[in-house]
């Protein structure tokens, strides 16, 4: 987990101590919950009292205000992964509590010979957060291995099981994430900074084989020396992914300020074909499902490309205090003394510059806690 124990133990914990961007002011109340029951109790009581709740994982997808958060921050202290079935024609089934470190789940899956996790190695944070934005990297998404999740439903004050279909997982989105902004998913209201559903346990279903899922990502295939669609030993895929990620500052490392980030700060824009036609010829283009639910095909471009070509390449605004990573134009980083306000200012400059150059409004990926871009 990314939180630093010295901060956790401090009398007045701050969000800077619990987030990978390392900004954010004081926390009202902090609870490290030892059981699912405790999490449900804390959330139910806070909701009844009208106290704001933040369910915190590794803090790797949050940009928190310098003013802090006056509500209750609750973190799941459970870590134990439980294998339910590891062989047979039904494949493998196992579960992890929301508090399990995501990379521990990947390491365990690869070691057990469970396929489909290997390219998701190195993504920081907790298992409970992975369905929230359907984490993905190098051609895999958690949607490929999820079976269902146990949640606490804050709208009905009941525990529930959400099947894969209920989660409506898409590119960096889900029913869980949509409940932050859409009343239909929020049970008649919107939620935040944690959504309507608090994830308690995540259940996985996948193939029991030491071979990876087919390699779908061109850069990864090149690194492995295989064709797209090939299957390789999962352990080998995992190592290659970690090497690629390290080269881009996408594996947490206390000593490397390029990793003091929230990963990709903007999602890749998915554009109607007519708008995508206006991009320069050399802008990346991939087919993607239309996000408007029409069933059509739109065009996904690359936020990193647009940012770099709009004049905000790696190292922009170095030496900081907030600057674009020296390794990747999509990561906004804290060079040591940045405030949330510094990061917000940088994010606005980048977003506005890309809009002025290409007419594309980039959307931030991290959860914004008490700040607006
Ligand atoms: C260096 C770096 C690289 C990254 N690379 C990737 C990548 O390749 N792909 C990718 O998809 N993401 C990536 N990310 C983003 C981030 O790691 C993921 O979004 C991750 O899943 C966030 O997990 P977390 O536990 O840190 O969530 P947090 O930041 O703690 O929380 C994020 C949101 O999820 C909610 N949440 C957390 N736990 C729960 C729960 N149990 N129930 C309900 N809601 C919950 C929080 O309330 C909050 O709204 C990267 C981040 C960093 C810093």
Dist. CA 56 → ligand 1 center (Å): 9
Query: Is a pLDDT exceeding 70 seen at residue 10?
Result: no
Count of domains observed in the chain: 3
> What separation in Å is there between the alpha carbon of 183 and the centre of ligand 1?
22
Which protein residue's CA is at the shortest distance from atom 10 of ligand 1?
135
Q: Domain holding 68: CATH number?
A: 3.30.43.10
Ligand 1 atom closest to the Cα of residue 127 is: 25
Asked, for residue 217, whether it belongs to a domain, the answer is no
Question: Is 363 found in the same domain as 323?
Answer: yes
The predicted model gives 61-78 an average pLDDT of: 97
Query: Counting atoms of ligand 1 from 1, which one is nearest the CA of 133?
Result: 19
Asked if 309 and 335 sit in the same domain, the reply is yes
> Given a cut of 70, is residue 228 above it in pLDDT?
yes
Last residue of a domain, one of 59, 76, 93: 76
Is 228 within a domain? no
Cα of 161 vs centre of ligand 1, distance in Å, is 21
User: Which of 123, 180, 191, 265 most suits a substitution to test ligand 1, by most atoms within 8 Å of the C-beta?
Assistant: 123
Tell me the C-alpha to C-alpha distance, in Å, between residue 44 and each of 8, 32, 138.
Answer: 23, 16, 38
| Residue at which a domain ends, from 27, 61, 76 | 76
Question: What would the pLDDT profile of 87-121 be if each residue is shown by its tens digit?
Answer: 767 789 999 999 999 999 999 999 999 999 999 99
d(CA 360, ligand 1 centre) in Å: 25
Domain extent for 62: 6-76
Q: Do 90 and 12 share a structural domain?
A: no
Q: For ligand 1, what atom is nearest to the CA of residue 99?
A: 41
State residue 88's pLDDT score. 66
Distance 61 CA to ligand 1 centre (A): 4
Residues 320, 275, single domain; the answer is yes
In a domain, 232, yes or no: no
Same domain, 62 and 110: no
Q: How far apart are CA 77 and CA 81, in angstroms?
A: 13
Which pLDDT band holds residue 176 (cuts at 50, 70, 90)?
very high
Atom of ligand 1 nearest to the CA of 261: 53
Q: Output the domain CATH number for residue 106.
A: 3.30.465.10
pLDDT for 2 beyond 50: no
- Please give the positions annotated as active site: 172, 264, 365
Q: 199 and 106: one domain?
A: yes
- The pLDDT, as a whole number, for residue 105 is 98
Mean local confidence (pLDDT), 244-257: 97
Mutation probe of ligand 1 site: the residue of 125, 220, 261 with most atoms within 8 A of C-beta: 125
> What mean pLDDT comes out for the span 255-274?
96
Residue nearest atom 45 of ligand 1, based on CA coordinates: 129
* Residues near ligand 1 (Cβ within 6 A): 20, 54-62, 98, 123-126, 128-130, 132-133, 135-137, 193-195, 198-199, 250, 252, 259, 261-263, 367
Q: Is residue 172 part of a domain?
A: yes
pLDDT, one tens digit per residue, over 308-331 is 999 999 999 999 999 999 999 999
- Confirm if 116 and 144 have CB atoms less than 8 A apart: yes
Q: Are residues 87 and 188 in the same domain?
A: yes
Give the model's confidence band at 294: pLDDT under 50 very low, under 70 low, under 90 confident, else very high. Answer: confident
pLDDT computed for residue 91 by the predictor: 87
Calculate how far, in angstroms, residue 229's C-alpha sits from the geometric centre of ligand 1: 28
User: How far is CA 346 from each of CA 192, 247, 331, 334, 352, rounded to the nearest angstrom?
Assistant: 24, 23, 11, 11, 10
Are residues 72 and 93 both part of a single domain?
no
């Amino acid at each position: 987990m990314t939180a630093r124990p010295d901060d956790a133990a401090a009398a007045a914990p701050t969000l800077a101590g619990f987030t990978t961007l390392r900004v954010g002011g004081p926390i009202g109340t902090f609870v490290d919950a030892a059981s699912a029951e405790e999490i449900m109790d804390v959330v139910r009581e806070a909701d009844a009292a009208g106290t704001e709740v933040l369910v915190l994982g590794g803090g790797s997808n949050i940009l928190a205000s310098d003013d802090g958060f006056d509500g209750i921050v609750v973190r799941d202290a459970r870590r134990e992964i439980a294998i339910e079935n590891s062989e047979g024609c039904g494949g493998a089934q196992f579960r992890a509590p929301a508090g399990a470190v995501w990379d521990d789940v990947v390491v365990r899956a690869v070691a057990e010979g469970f396929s489909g996790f290997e390219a998701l190695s190195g993504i920081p944070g907790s298992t409970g957060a992975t369905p929230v934005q359907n984490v993905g990297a190098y051609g895999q998404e958690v949607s490929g291995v999820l079976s269902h999740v146990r949640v606490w439903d804050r709208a009905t004050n009941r525990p529930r099981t959400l099947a894969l279909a209920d989660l409506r997982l898409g590119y960096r989105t889900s029913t869980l994430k949509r409940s932050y902004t859409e009343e239909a998913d929020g049970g008649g209201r919107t939620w935040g900074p944690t959504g309507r559903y608090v994830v308690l346990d995540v259940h996985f279903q996948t193939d029991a084989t030491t071979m990876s899922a087919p390699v779908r990502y061109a850069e990864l295939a090149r690194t492995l020396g295989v064709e797209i669609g090939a299957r390789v030993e999962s352990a080998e895929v995992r190592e290659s992914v970690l090497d690629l990620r390290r080269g881009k500052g996408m594996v947490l490392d206390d000593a490397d300020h390029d990793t003091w980030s929230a990963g990709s700060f903007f999602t890749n824009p998915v554009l109607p074909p007519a708008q995508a036609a206006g991009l320069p010829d050399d802008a990346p283009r991939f087919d993607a499902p239309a996000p408007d639910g029409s069933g059509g095909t739109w065009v996904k471009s690359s936020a990193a490309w647009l940012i770099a070509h709009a004049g905000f390449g790696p190292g922009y605004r170095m030496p900081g205090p907030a600057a674009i990573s020296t390794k990747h134009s999509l990561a906004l980083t804290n060079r040591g003394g940045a405030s949330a306000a510094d990061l917000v200012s940088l994010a606005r400059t980048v977003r506005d510059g890309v809009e002025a150059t290409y007419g594309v409004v980039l959307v931030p990926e991290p959860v914004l806690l008490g700040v607006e871009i």
